[in-house]
Structure 1
C-alpha cells in the first residue's frame, strides 16, 4: 500500500493508554514498512501531562516500545519515526490553548487528521475549539467508541460534531472492522463462486459471533460500571461484525456501497419484544474464580465498581434478520469478561446433508462449518467430513486452513494500522456511518430499558468459565451449542 498522501496527524490524548498501546505502535509499523506513510507526514501529540517535546519523546520511548514490532525493534526506523513527532501542551478545558495548536500545525503539509483518543465527554468541546481557530477545514476527525450512552446521547454528540464537520470528514472507528480475517470474509464471499450460493438460509443452520476476554475491568471500573457489556461491545463491535457477515453483495467496494448494505442488515434486525427478552437475552456478572491457575476477584469487588452493582459483564443474544436471505436463521451473539479464554470468532454452521448413506455423523448439523478466528491468532478454517484411514466407512472432522502467511510473503497488517492508513488516505468503507450507529442503538435500546426496569440481577458465573449456564441453554433450545462445548 504505497502512498504519496501528505498528512499532519494530531493525536489528542497523546499520553493515554490507547495512544501508547495501539495508535503510535500502528503508525510506527506503517513507518517502518516504508512507503506507507508520506515522508513529509508529521505526528503532533497533544497532552498536558508532560512539559515539552523532549519529555514527550522520553515518555514514548518508555511506554510505546513494549508494544511494537513482534519481530524486534528496528532502532534506525524507530529513530526516524521519532523525528516525525511534534508535541503541543494543551489543556483541553481551555479553548484559548487551541491557538497554540493552530500555530503548531499551520506550516505543516497535507490533510489534517484529528484523532480523539479521549473520553467521549471531550468530543464536542474539542470540535468546537478546533472550529474556533479554523482547524475544521481540510481535515478529518476520528472518534473512538463509546459514542454516547444511548440513542439520545449518541445523537447529541453526532449533531454537535456534524455542525462542525461534514459526514464525509467523520471517521467513527471500530477496530474489529480492520482485522484481516474480516477483510478476507468479504473476499471469500464476493470473490469466489464457491461460497456465495451457500450464504443463505437454505444452507446455513446458524451463525455464532463471540468476543470473549480473559481480562476483567482492570483500571476501568468507574467507566465500565456505568456502561456494561451491551453498550461496550454489542452495540458496536458485535453488531458491526453481524452486518458484515449478513450483508448483501455491494455493487462495488466504495465506502457508501459497503455501508449501505450494512445498514440494510441493521434495519432488518427483528425487534426484540420486551416480553421475550428473558428467552433471547442472557446477562451475567462474573464472581470470583480462577483463570489459568490465578485466583481473580468478583466484579463487585473491583476498584471503582459499586458493591451492589447490577451491571452486566456478559451478554448472550439470539438475533434474527427479517429478510429473504436470512429469515429463520438464528444468529447467536456472545461477549463477556473473565471468560475461559481470549477469543473472537465467527462460526458459520452449515446444514446437514438431507440424506446420508455414510452414517449418522454426516447428518449432524455443523459437520460442515466455516470458522473465522479474529483473535488471538487470525485464521480461517473450513471444516468438513472425511473418511478415516482403515477398514470401514468411518467419518471424521477435518479442516482446510486458509493460511495467508503461506501464500503472501508480506505479514498481516494490524487492524489499527490499516484503519489509520485508511483515514490518512480518505477511505471510509471500514468506518461506521451515522445512520448505521443510530440503527444499532435503536435495536439495542429496548433491551437496555427492560434490564433497567427489571429488578432481576445478572446471572452469576465463575471467572474462568464460559458464562452463565443460561447462555448454553438458549442454544440447546435450538438443537445446537457453542463451538467450545462441542469440542
Structure 2
C-alpha cells in the first residue's frame, strides 16, 4: 500500500456484516461472542445487520437459536443480560448459500439491501478451495463494489505459490486497501501493548538493539494434540500452522523500527522491512539452525495421552514441534539471535516473548562474592497477560559474609492493572476494526509473501537434508536437540 492509499481506505462504519461459515466452530466460539460483546457495550453501529451464511438449511429463527446457544456456551452467565441478548439476536439474519452456485448469492444481496451501496464488511471463514467460487458469487451478486471490504481467515495458502494464487484471485475483485487478512494474535491486548511498551516509553528503546540485547526468545506452547484438526494440521505442520504467521508477526513487532506514526501504512511498512531482513535458512544451515519433532505417547497435566501417529491413525512425517534460530540482518539487530519454538503436547500452554538483555559490562560486586544476572523482560501473551521485568537487588542484611544479590521480578499483571476493564476476545478488536475500516492490525500482502518466502526456504532445506521429525514424549519441551540449539550458544529456554 502506498502512502496515498492510506487516505483512500474506507474509514466509515459498515451497515451490514456478512459472515461466511456462520455455523462453524470459529463463528460459534469466537465471532458471535465477540460481536455480542461489542453490541452489549454499544460499540456496533446502531443499524448494523449481521447476515450469516453457510450451507446449512436454516432460516432466521433457526440461526438465532444457534447463536443463542453459542452465547450460552461461551459467555459468562452474568453478561447475558436478556435485553442485550434479544437486541443482538434481532440483528441476525441467515441465508443458506452453496458457494458453487453463483445464483444463490443474489439472496445475500437481497438480505443486505441498501447496505450494498453504503457499506458492507464480509468475513470469509471458509476453506481456501472455496475462495474463488465465493468471490465469483459475490461479484455476480454485486457485492464487490467500492463500499465493500473483505476479511480473510487463514489458511491463506500452503506456500508462496499457493498464497499468490489466492491473493491474485482476491485482488482481481478487492484491491489491497479493501482486503483485511486476519492474524488473530494481532488482536491480543498484550501484542498491541508491545507497541505501547516500546514507543510510548523512553525506558527501553535506547537498549532495544544489538548493544543492549543478548537474544530474544518467542515461544508458543500448546498442551493439545490434534483436537479435531486432523485433516488441516497433518497437511500443514507446526512450521506453517504457527510459525509462518503468528510467530513471525511477533518477531516483526519486536524487531521493527519506530514507525513515523500510528497508522496502518507506517506500521506495516516497518514490519515488512524486518521480514525481508530475515537471514535465509537453506540447505547449508537448516540442520544446524532448526529442529523438528513429533510427539509420542506421554502425559500432560498428569493424564496419559496418545502419540501423534496414534491420534492420526497412521504414520506421518508431519512435525508437531519446531525450533528455529533466526537472525535479522540489519543495523539494529546484527548478531542478535532470535530463538523461536512452538509445539503441541507441551507441559503447559503459554505464549510469551523473552527479551534477554546483556549482562553488566563489569560487576563491582564480584569481589564480594555476589553474582549478577542479566535483566530479562518477559511479555506473556496467554493464558494470563503479563509483563515482567527482572531486576537485581540487594538481599537485606548486614553483609558481614559478603553482599548477596537476588533477582526480583517487577510484574505488571494486566488483569490487576486494569481490573476495572473487561478483557476482550482478540476477535472483538479485529471485528470492530473490520466494521470501521481500520486495517492497522491486519496483514498486508507483502508481509504474507515475505513470510512465506522465508518459510519455503526452511522447508526446502529440510528436504535437501532429509530431515525427519525427532520423537519427543508428550508433556515435555520437545526433542533434546531443541535444548542443544540454544545451549551451544550458552542460552537456556525460558521454561
| Structure 1 position 363, deviation (Å) | 4.0
Give yes or no for the alignment of 1:466 onto 2:445. no
> Any idea what the Cα deviations from partners look like across 1:202-247, whole Å, max 9, x if unmatched?
0100100011100111111111111111111111111011000000
* Residue range with higher mean Cα deviation, 58-67 or 406-415: 406-415
Q: Secondary structure at the match of 2:340?
A: strand
Alpha-carbon distance in 1 for matches of 2:460, 2:415? 46
* Aligned position for 1:481: 492
Taking a change above 3 Å as real, the CA distance of residues 8 and 69 of structure 1, as seen in their structure-2 partners, is: farther
Match in the other structure for 2:422 = 411
Alignment of 1:437-452 (within 5 A): 437-452=448-463
Match of 1:270, SS state, is coil
Partner SS, residue 464 of structure 1? coil
State the distance in 1 between where 2:103 and 2:14 align: 28
Distance 2:179 2:425 in 1: 22
Q: Look up the match of 2:298.
A: 289
Determine which of 185, 188, 200 is the counterpart of 1:191. 200
TM-score normalised by L of structure 2: 0.93
Q: Output aligned runs, 1:71-82, within 5 Å.
A: 72-82=79-89
* Unaligned residue ranges in structure 1 (runs of 5+): none
* 1:401 aligned onto 2:416: no
Matches of 2:254 and 2:291, distance apart in 1: 22
Deviation string, structure 1 residues 89-108 (Cα, Å, up to 9, x no partner) = 11122111101111111234
Of residues 312, 332, 335, the one that matches 1:325 is 332
Please tell me whether the aligned partners of residues 355 and 363 of structure 1 are also in contact (alpha carbons under 8 angstroms): no
Cα distance in 1 for residues equivalent to 2:154 and 2:167: 12
Secondary structure of the 1:189 match is helix
How far does residue 417 in structure 1 lie from its aligned partner after superposition? 0.5
Structure 2 counterpart SS, 1:328: coil
Q: Helix, strand or coil: the match of 1:274?
A: coil
Aligned equivalent of 1:111, options 119, 136, 142: 119
Q: Secondary structure at the match of 1:145?
A: coil
RMSD (CA atoms): 1.7
Could you say which residue in structure 2 is the equivalent of 1:128? 136
Q: Which residue of 2 aligns with 1:143?
A: 152
Q: How many angstroms apart in 1 are the aligned matches of 2:180 and 2:76?
A: 26
Q: State how 1:277-426 maps to structure 2 within 5 Å.
A: 277-302=286-311, 305=312, 307-359=314-366, 362-364=371-373, 367-392=374-399, 393-408=403-418, 409-426=420-437
Q: 1:99 aligns with which of 92, 102, 106?
A: 106
In structure 2, do the counterparts of structure 1 residues 281 and 62 end up closer, same or farther at CA, with 3 Å as the change threshold? same
Supply the distance in 2 between the matched residues of 1:407 and 1:479 (Cα, whole angstroms).
Answer: 35
Report what 2:228 is aligned to. 219
> What is the Cα deviation at residue 72 of structure 1?
4.1
User: 2:31 is matched with which residue?
Assistant: 23
Of the three residues 166, 179, 182, the one matched with 1:170 is 179
Partner secondary structure for residue 174 of structure 2: coil
Partner of 2:5: none
Pair 1:156 & 2:197 matched: no
User: In structure 2, how many angstroms separate the alpha carbons of the residues matched to 1:426 and 1:4?
Assistant: 6
Contact 2:346 2:478 in 1 (8 A): yes
Q: TM-score, normalised by structure 1?
A: 0.95
CA distance in 1, matches of 2:78, 2:393: 38
Q: How much does 1:308 deviate? A: 2.2
1:146 aligns to what SS in structure 2? coil
CA distance in 1, matches of 2:288, 2:304: 32
Runs of 5+ in structure 2 lacking a partner?
Answer: 1-10
Aligned length: 477
Cα contact 1:4–1:37 (8 A) shared by 2: no
Among 31, 52, 55, the alignment partner of 2:59 is: 52
Within-5 A mapping of 1:30-41: 30-34=38-42, 36-41=43-48
Q: Secondary structure at the match of 2:186?
A: helix
Question: Take 1:301 and 1:94, find their aligned partners in 2: how far apart are those partners?
Answer: 39
CA distance in structure 2 between the partners assigned to 1:199 and 1:24 by the alignment: 39
CA contact (8 A) 1:123 1:157 kept: yes
